[in-house]
Each structure stands twice: as structure tokens, then as C-alpha cells.
Amino acid sequence: MNHDKMSNVSAKRGFLWPSFEIYSGVSGFTDYGPLGASLKNNIMQKWRRQYVSGEGFYEIEGPTVMPKEVLKASGHVDNFTDPMCKCEECGEVFRADHIIEEVIGEDVESLENEELDQIVIDNNIVCPECGGKLSNIWNYNLMFKTEIGAKGDKVGYMRPETAQGIFILFKRLERFFRGKLPFGAVQLGKAYRNEISPRQGVIRLREFTQAEAEIFLNPKDKTHPKFSQIEDVVLRLNSQEVQEKNLEPLEITAKEALDKGIVANEMLIYQLYLARKFLTEIGIPEDVLRFRQHLKGEMAHYALDCW
């Protein structure tokens, strides 16, 4: 079933409806109908059972509005951006990497703005709406900005992810867990990203629910006590090498992936296993799942490894 048919069926049966529809709607926002809300809540409770009950993590809940200082310290104010361009004829704005990928058929997400500008010139890429000339590409911050307080002199942002609320509480969480590592904290709740061009229904939204686990461990000990139970589990991995050389995904056991240095450590590969376990148990066929390692240019500035 294609995306349009799926959207029509989900709307007719009460799963997903376009938000603000009677006022012409706003892209990037979706209402969950009676069946959609029920399904979403069941998925969230299933997630809680796996990570809170099953793994012994604890759930916290923090504010969805954050002061600028927090997100400045985390790098979001300066780095939480997407490349953007504007048509000089009709004034429409676009996410630059998306319109480039649609023309050349290649992933360009990790490239710098100057490289993207050159690709636009070399391939004569024009505005998809009117055929006009595109501007130079610049970085656009994805966070919704707001004001805190009646005087409006305190800048705030709607949180772009749930992780920061956990990181801020680290000292209190460490005391709660009596200083014993590793420990895990989870948060389920709303996050907000002012996307340039929301698309693909609920895959890319401006307001959405995240379920996030943060596990804190001793950097000198990245083993996992349950690794021996899953070391023979076969995972499908699109490593950096697989992507760069355009090879078939690796079908490899967790132990082999660790021994060959494809995944950084036991703790991380156990989380890959848990993620796949959750997705298959809510009904997603295993043969359509694979883990893609971030390329060097995509890797977050703080990340040693990311899938």
C-alpha cells in the first residue's frame, strides 16, 4: 500500500486526521483520532514495559519549554540546523538537501553548505514550484522560539528532544541511583521541531511524541551484564563501510560485530538488540528492519558511534 492510500485509510477509520482542517490546516501537525490515540498509547505502554519494567530504568518528566541557556550549552542554539534555500522568483523556501536528493538521487545530508551550493550550480537545480533560481544555502534553526515571563526578556525554546531534561537532572539522578553505574532514565513526551518542509505524514512532524532512554555508564567499562544472552543474535547492519562502498547490508551476530569493531561496545549493541526487539514485537516484520550507522559527516559532535 502506498503512502497516499495509507493516509486515506487511516483518516477514514479514525486513526490520523490533519490538524486544524476546518481552518485549511497547517502542515507538520496531526491529530490522533479515537483509534489512533488508543494505538499510540498502547505502543507507549509497551515501550514502558520493555525499558522501565524490563530493564529497570526509571521514568522522569520535565518541562517542554526550556530557557535558552540550557540549549546554548547543549549546542542546539548553534548547531540544531537544517540547510535551507529560497526561490528568488516566487519566494518559496525549501530544505536544500531534500530538493537536491530528488534531482540527483544521492544522499547529501552530510555535506557542507558550500558543497551543496556547487551541486545546485553543476546540476542546474531550480525551484520545483516555478523553475526560478535558488538562493545560496544557509542554516536554519529548527527550534520553536518563545518568551518566558510577562516582560518577554527571558528567551525560551520548545524542547527539540526529550534527552536534555534527563541530562540536566544528572546529579539528582546519580544520587537517586546511589552513585551506582550504569543506570538508565527514560522520558516520554512531546518534542517540537519547526521543520522547513514537513512531509511523509507522521514521519516528519513539527510536534511529535518521543520515547527516549539515556543510559549513564563508566567510560572505562562499557560491558553489559546481559550481553552473553544476545551475543548470537543476528543483526542487519548498514555500517559506514557498507554505505561508502555500496555493499549489501551485513548479516552478522552481535559478538562478531563487536569483535570486528563495527559497533563500538557491548552497551551500544545491546541497545540495538532492544530497539529491534521492541519494533518486531509491535508487529513490524524483521526483514524490513536494518540499522544504519551514521557516516562521519553526519555524526553528532559528541558521538563516538551512532546507529
Q: The domain spanning residue 20 has which CATH number?
A: 3.30.930.10
Q: Cell 517540537 appears where?
A: 192
In a domain, residue 220? The reply is no
| Same domain assignment for residues 63 and 196 | yes
Give the range of the structural domain holding residue 133, as residue numbers without chain letter: 81-141
257 and 156 fall within a common domain: no
This prediction has a pTM of 0.86
Residues 8 and 149 occupy one common structural domain: yes
Tell me, what's the pLDDT at 1? 61
Tell me how far apart the alpha carbons of residues 46 and 194 are, in angstroms, rounded to a whole number: 29
Q: Which residues face 94 on adjacent strands?
A: 85
Instruction: Note the pLDDT tens digit of each residue in 187-236.
Output: 999 999 999 878 778 888 999 999 999 999 999 999 999 999 999 999 99
Q: What is the pLDDT of residue 207?
A: 97
Cβ(113)–Cβ(97) below 8 Å: no
Residue 78's H or E segment, with its range, is: helix 76-79
Whole-angstrom distance, CA of residue 116 vs CA of residue 298: 15
- How many domains does the chain contain in total? 3
Point out the domain boundary residue: 157, 181, 215: 215
In this structure, is residue 238 part of a structural domain? yes
Residues 136 and 149 in one domain: no
* pLDDT of the residue at 256: 97
Buried b (16+ CB within 10 A) or exposed e, 245-264: eeeeebebebbbbbeeebbb
Are both 153 and 199 inside the same structural domain? yes
Spans in the chain with pLDDT lower than 70: 1
Same domain, 209 and 268: no
Alpha-carbon gap, residue 247 to 227, rounded angstroms: 28
On whether residue 303 sits in a domain, the answer given is no
Same domain (yes/no): 53, 151: yes
Contacts of 228 (CB under 8 A, 6+ apart): none
